[in-house]
């Protein structure tokens, strides 16, 4: 069964929308862990639209489980990540005009830059460095070539598929990507758009997944049902029996 890491970025989005001090993503992270999450994910964007440097340092000090720092290859953000030295650093593509991360890294087109960033992150004592990639064998092989020891498979196309046939086709693509990564010696993570309804198909189809990152679905449910219950529900979904 994969471990569940909860992304708390959207708590920061809500706080920053009113330029308030609450709700605090650091408090939300603690509630997620109390409810059974195995760790916390956050993305320090270049424009600081949700998570701030204050959040980063407090999360590093208070999260008890695994801490996943998502980041672009921006020099300043890489330096902050190296200083914090989380358990996991996940390099992701980033465009200021996007609402959320759209698609995986083009590793084959940016190998030299990514190799430099991967080397620096490992040099800072970070034990796991992952690249967020689409389930494309060439991109996965390139991730191994630049020195990453993990990949996070982008599950957005699977989550957004609008027919059962399309969902199953995307699940099979993810399964092939997971097998490719596993054969290359990479630890397999997955995330983007996974939720309470689509996870069972993902889990029964995609092998070798050690960890999943879920954020929006948990936070959306938390608005109506409470954050603790939302995390318990997602944890049961991730770790429950196959349907």
Active site residues: 43, 70, 192
> By the 8 A CB rule, do 1 and 239 touch?
yes
CA distances (Å), origin 26, targets 7, 15, 51, 57? 11, 12, 10, 10
Residue in the block written with tokens 């939720």? 195
* Distance (Å, whole) CA 91 – CA 152: 9
- Packed helices 75-84 and 111-123: angle between N→C axes, nearest 10 degrees: 30
Compute φ and ψ for 94, nearest 5 degrees. Answer: -150, 130
Compute φ and ψ for 189, nearest 5 degrees. Answer: -115, 170
Q: In 124-226, which residue ranges form alpha helices assigned H by DSSP?
A: 137-145, 156-160, 164-183, 199-205, 216-225
73, two tokens: 């290859």
């Amino acid at each position: 069964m994969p471990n569940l890491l909860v992304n708390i970025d959207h708590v920061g989005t809500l706080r920053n929308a009113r330029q308030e001090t609450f709700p605090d993503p650091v408090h939300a992270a603690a509630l997620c862990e109390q409810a059974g999450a195995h760790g916390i994910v956050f993305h320090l964007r270049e424009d600081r639209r949700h998570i701030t440097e204050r959040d980063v340092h407090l999360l590093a000090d208070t999260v008890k489980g695994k801490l996943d720092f998502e980041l672009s290859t921006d020099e300043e953000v890489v330096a902050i990540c190296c200083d914090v030295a989380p358990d996991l650093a996940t390099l992701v593509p980033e465009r200021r005009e996007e609402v959320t991360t759209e698609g995986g890294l083009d590793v084959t087109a940016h190998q030299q830059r990514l190799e430099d960033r991967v080397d620096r992150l490992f040099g800072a004592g970070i034990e796991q460095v992952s690249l967020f990639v689409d389930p494309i064998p060439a991109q996965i092989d390139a991730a191994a070539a630049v020195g990453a020891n993990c990949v996070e498979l982008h599950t957005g196309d699977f989550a957004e598929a609008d027919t059962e046939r399309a969902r199953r086709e995307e699940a099979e693509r993810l399964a092939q990507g997971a097998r490719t990564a596993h054969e290359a010696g990479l630890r397999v993570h997955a995330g983007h758009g996974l939720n309470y309804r689509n996870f069972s198909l993902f889990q029964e189809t995609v092998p070798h997944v050690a960890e999943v990152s879920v954020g929006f679905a948990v936070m959306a449910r938390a608005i109506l049902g409470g954050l603790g219950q939302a995390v318990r529900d997602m944890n049961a979904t991730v770790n429950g029996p196959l349907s």
